[in-house]
Amino acid sequence: MKFPFQTIALIGKYQTPSIAEPLLHLAAFLAGRGVAVVVGSRTAEHLKDHPYRVMALGEMGGVVDLAIVLGGDGTMLNIARTLAPFGVPLVGVNQGRLGFLTDISLDTMLQTIAAMLEGEFVTEPRMLLSTRVLRNGAEVCAELALNEVTVHRDNASNMIEFEVRIDGEYLYNQRADGLIVSTPTGSTAYALSSGGPILHPGLDIIELVPVCPHTLSNRPIVVKSESVIEIGIQMYHASYVRVRFDSHSSFDLQAKDRLEVTRYSKPIRLLHPVGHSYYHTLREKLLWNKTL
């Protein structure tokens, strides 16, 4: 039988030797069904002798039909940012508790993946953010983010001063500890802990959430996903200001730097088991099913 996925990449949480056993178990399961298995190069460092092809993430585009990520949501964030330009769909297997992005447990992994090989899955597109940092008109940094782009102070007591414009129109000047520009996916991450609303991941919107603003009148705001969000760093002694992308990479900013944040042209595609429910995940992760 010809499965919808002929070549599958297996990628484990970085620097986690304990991932080797379940990953090799899954690899043998897939190979036994005629699927070509590829192992991420950094994951392969924790595997002993194995017969599978090893590839770096950046080499997988056009080669693999699916990537299965074993780890947690943090691992998935990093892999999603890297594979997004190639359009590779992703499946998440969580090592621990249920995750927002990695929703398959190790206990049900083989059963669930077997059903997916038969075409029993639902596809969920998730938007990403694309950010350019401009310095004196020249681009000095460009990154993607699945959860959020955060401008924040770095180990300093002073607040950040910045200006925000939406589609070229002035919105406000702000003094705060930082500003979070979040996708709906990221609304349950840093944005939530900073007072932002929970957004269904199917929405085409972007939220801006200030971190500890100096004025109580400043509140989160939601804008359309087609918006061009500009953040201008105003403080002159701003060597401690940093922009962070999904907590996986960062870039030091200077006074007068300007950030342009837009929706990335390609969404990622998460594959879930049939019957997957975002609201069930919310209840489990946020303990809404517990009585006080």
Q: pLDDT, tens digit, for every residue of 162-220?
A: 999 999 999 999 999 999 999 999 999 999 999 999 999 999 999 999 999 988 888 99
Q: Which residue has the tokens 């801006």?
A: 208
- What is this structure's pTM? 0.93
Helix axes 109-117, 20-31, angle to 10 degrees: 30
Instruction: Answer yes or no: 103 catalytic.
Output: no
What are the tens digits of pLDDT across the range 211-248? 999 888 889 999 999 999 999 998 755 558 999 999 88
Q: Sorting pLDDT into bands at 50, 70 and 90, what band is 158?
A: confident
Q: How is the chain split into domains, by residue range?
A: 7-126+267-285, 129-263
User: CA 206, CA 229: separation in Å to the nearest integer?
Assistant: 10
Mean pLDDT of the chain: 92
Catalytic one among 65, 73, 107, 257? 73
- C-alpha to C-alpha distance for 175 and 162, rounded to whole angstroms: 7
Q: What is the mean pLDDT of residues 78-94?
A: 94
pLDDT at residue 56, as a whole number: 95
Q: How far apart are CA 148 and CA 126, in angstroms?
A: 13
Distance of alpha carbon 282 from alpha carbon 7, whole angstroms: 32
- pLDDT-based confidence at 284, cuts 50/70/90? confident
Beta carbons within 8 Å of 218's beta carbon, 6+ residues apart:
172, 174, 176, 210
The pLDDT value given to residue 1? 46
Give 257-267 pLDDT, tens digit per residue: 999 999 999 99
Calculate what percentage of the chain has a pLDDT beyond 90: 77
Average pLDDT estimate for 106-129: 95
Would you tell me which CATH number, out of the four given (3.40.50.720, 3.20.130.10, 3.40.50.10330, 3.40.50.12780), belongs to the domain 7-126+267-285? Answer: 3.40.50.10330
The CATH fold assigned to 129-263 is Tumour Suppressor Smad4 (2.60.200)
